A and B are shown apart, each in its own frame.
Chain A
């Protein structure tokens, strides 16, 4: 049972464009939603995270939008750059339930073309 569904599987965006990656979850106990960026041969690196008490969080070019009623959240990358080309993972955990394990989506491979 996949608890966090991520789409699309791959994404090609032109330099300067907006990249949008979507995730949906099933477990209503999830209360912490981070996004990670992973380059080949490297471990995932935290980009930005959100708790369900806010609907949007922005850090630089990265924005998370969160819709609690729809159980969906998304990552927007503004002014996408070739250096953003990587695999992006959404994740979720149930901090309030005392569970710190992260459940990851399957990832989105982003390619930003010049």
Chain B
């Protein structure tokens, strides 16, 4: 069990560019979550997958954001036309269990800085 892995750990880009982050969940975890955390705040939910199906989306997930989990394993989060306000830590979490709640295990995040 290697834990939730996120890549890259840091991303610096210019405003207006597109960025893509990758998350590899704990092996065999069927649920995968994306959160955003800004400095001094708690994580805020963005979206959630059960296997390859995207089941919940937050109002924070504007049309510039898109997330995929094509084969129910790894997931990608893309931000198009980045803005200053997108600067944050993007956290991925995964959990197991289909009919009962299991704890969400977080990765160490991707820190995005918009110049």
Interface residues of A (CB under 8 A from B): 6, 32, 34, 36, 41-46, 49, 89, 91, 93, 95, 99-107
In contact, B42 and A100 (Cβ under 8 angstroms): no
B74 within 8 A of A: no
User: What is the CA–CA distance of A49 and B58 in the complex, to the nearest angstrom?
Assistant: 24
Partner of B42, one of A32, A42, A45, A104: A104
Interface residues of B (CB under 8 A from A): 4, 31, 33, 35, 40-45, 48, 56, 58, 91, 93, 95, 101, 103-109
Given A44-B106, A95-B101, A100-B41 contact (CB < 8 Å): no
Q: Which residues of B contact A49 (CB under 8 A)?
A: 103
In contact, B43 and A44 (Cβ under 8 angstroms): yes
Q: Which residues of A contact B105 (CB under 8 A)?
A: 46
Partner of B109, one of A6, A43, A99, A102: A43
Task: Using CB atoms, name the residue of chain B closest to A90.
Answer: B42
Number of interchain pairs (Cβ within 8 Å): 56
In contact, B43 and A101 (Cβ under 8 angstroms): no
Tell me what chain A mostly uses at the interface: helix, strand, loop, or mixed: strand
In contact, A105 and B42 (Cβ under 8 angstroms): yes
Partner of B40, one of A41, A101, A107: A107
Partner of A43, one of B42, B44, B56, B106: B106
Given A44-B91, A95-B101, A100-B106 contact (CB < 8 Å): no
